[in-house]
């Protein structure tokens, strides 16, 4: 109980400045996305969520940067909300929903009840966070339904990976964060990599993930959690293995974008995994990678096709 009180006090202090700073600003429509509107209070709530879920404090000198992050993530979610609302057949697994709720709390070292209390103490309706998770799960369901017939898995590549990973009893796990940058023309890759690398050095990896990453993990500072080495493609794993704890991997250039990984921790585990279980892991990982690529592409197309209007003076 003492620990919870201390956490609550810290968050009240860190975010109370936001409410004071914006108290005199009248609410109103800030942006319209298609037939939906985003208000100033929506952006304030989004900033609170960013601060809480990334264990960060508010200060006036960060206000513009936080607002840009909040606007970006709110527009993205609104585009997705509009699209999923057109498909009433979409569903999500309640286990996935509860797992994601607990993951958000665990990544900032607290339980779910504490997270709820922090939101309440900072005048943030916890239902907003729950709605955001629902939207993301429904969006994932939409992408799967649209592209499931295009999930072409390279069987030879899977079998090749099985040969190198079967009969193992010791595995490596990595605690990772990611930044995924929009693909650029070949002659602009080096310049874009230098730009992101410089920003990471100045602003920190998590802040750049929030402001620049096009991945779904952006809102949580790029957090991927713990991944088994069997869940990571060999091309990516090679870069991760050679990067020390606390370091940033060399950029990885793929069709879906430019990837940067932060290796937050590493550990070895001893576990027997059957050949069938290992094959299922490799196939699931490959499907997830392909679906993420389709997700980013589908969102980009929708955003280009929808009218987004700014009402801020």
In CATH, what number is assigned to the domain containing residue 193? 3.10.50.40
**Pair (130, 183) in one structural domain:** no
The confidence score (pLDDT) of residue 16 equals: 56
Within-domain flag for 286: no
Question: Are the C-beta atoms of residues 130 and 258 closer than 8 Å to each other?
Answer: no
Within-domain flag for 80: yes
**Pair (11, 138) in one structural domain:** yes
The confidence score (pLDDT) of residue 28 equals: 86
**Pair (135, 236) in one structural domain:** no
Range of the domain at 26: 2-148
CB atoms closer than 10 angstroms to residue 276: 8
Cβ burial 239-256 (10 Å sphere, 16+ → b, else e): bbeebeeeebbbbbeeeb
Q: List Cβ neighbours of 48 (8 Å cut-off, separation of 6 or more).
A: 15, 18, 119, 122, 124
Question: Are the C-beta atoms of residues 45 and 128 closer than 8 Å to each other?
Answer: yes
CATH classification of the domain holding 37 = 1.10.4030.10
The confidence score (pLDDT) of residue 104 equals: 87
123 closest CA partner among 51, 196, 182, 205: 51
**Pair (74, 136) in one structural domain:** yes
Burial of 58 (C-beta count, 10 Å sphere; 0-12/13-18/19+): buried
The confidence score (pLDDT) of residue 166 equals: 67
Which helix or strand (DSSP H or E) is residue 189 part of? Answer: helix 189-203
Task: Report d(CA 261, CA 241) in Å as an integer.
Answer: 11
**Pair (141, 240) in one structural domain:** no
Segment-wise mean pLDDT, segments of 10 residues, the chain, 313 residues: 44 55 68 93 92 83 85 94 93 92 87 92 93 94 92 76 72 91 88 94 90 86 86 85 93 86 91 75 81 88 92 65
Question: What is the distance between the terminal CA atoms of the chain, rounded to a whole angstrom?
Answer: 46
**Pair (8, 142) in one structural domain:** yes
The confidence score (pLDDT) of residue 271 equals: 72
The confidence score (pLDDT) of residue 5 equals: 44
Within-domain flag for 55: yes
Task: Report d(CA 108, CA 130) in Å as an integer.
Answer: 17
Task: Report d(CA 241, CA 174) in Å as an integer.
Answer: 9
The confidence score (pLDDT) of residue 22 equals: 54
Within-domain flag for 219: yes
85 closest CA partner among 147, 32, 34, 151: 34
The confidence score (pLDDT) of residue 266 equals: 93
**Pair (144, 174) in one structural domain:** no
**Pair (124, 195) in one structural domain:** no
Within-domain flag for 248: yes
Task: Report d(CA 210, CA 73) in Å as an integer.
Answer: 9
The confidence score (pLDDT) of residue 167 equals: 67
Dihedral pair phi/psi, residue 227, rounded to 5°: -125, 135
177 closest CA partner among 207, 199, 198, 203: 207
Within-domain flag for 74: yes
């Amino acid at each position: 109980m003492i620990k919870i009180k201390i956490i609550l006090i810290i968050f009240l202090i860190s975010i109370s400045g936001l409410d004071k700073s914006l108290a005199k600003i009248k609410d109103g429509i800030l942006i319209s996305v298609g037939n939906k509107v985003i208000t100033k209070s929506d952006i304030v709530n989004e900033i609170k969520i960013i601060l809480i879920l990334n264990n960060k404090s508010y200060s006036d000198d960060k206000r513009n940067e936080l607002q840009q992050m909040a606007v970006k993530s709110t527009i993205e979610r609104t585009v997705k909300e509009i699209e999923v609302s057109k498909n009433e057949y979409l569903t999500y697994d309640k286990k996935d929903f509860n797992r994601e709720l607990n993951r958000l709390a665990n990544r900032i070292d607290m339980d779910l009840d504490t997270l709820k209390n922090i939101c309440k103490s900072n005048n943030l309706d916890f239902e907003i966070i729950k709605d955001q998770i629902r939207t993301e799960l429904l969006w994932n369901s939409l992408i799967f339904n649209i592209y499931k017939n295009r999930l072409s898995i390279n069987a030879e590549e899977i079998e090749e990976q099985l040969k190198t990973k079967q009969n193992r009893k010791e595995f490596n796990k990595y605690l990772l964060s990611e930044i995924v940058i929009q693909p650029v023309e070949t002659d602009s890759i080096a310049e874009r990599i230098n730009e992101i690398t410089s920003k990471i050095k100045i602003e920190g990896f998590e802040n750049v993930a929030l402001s620049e990453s096009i991945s779904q993990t952006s809102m949580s500072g790029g957090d991927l959690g713990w991944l088994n080495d069997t869940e990571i493609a060999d091309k990516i794993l090679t870069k991760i293995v050679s990067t020390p704890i606390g370091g940033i991997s060399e950029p990885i250039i793929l069709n879906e974008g430019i990837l940067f990984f932060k290796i937050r921790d590493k550990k070895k585990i001893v576990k027997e995994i059957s050949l069938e279980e290992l094959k299922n892991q490799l196939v699931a990982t490959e499907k997830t990678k392909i679906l993420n690529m389709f997700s980013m592409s589908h969102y980009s197309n929708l955003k280009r096709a929808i009218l987004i209007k700014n009402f801020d003076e």
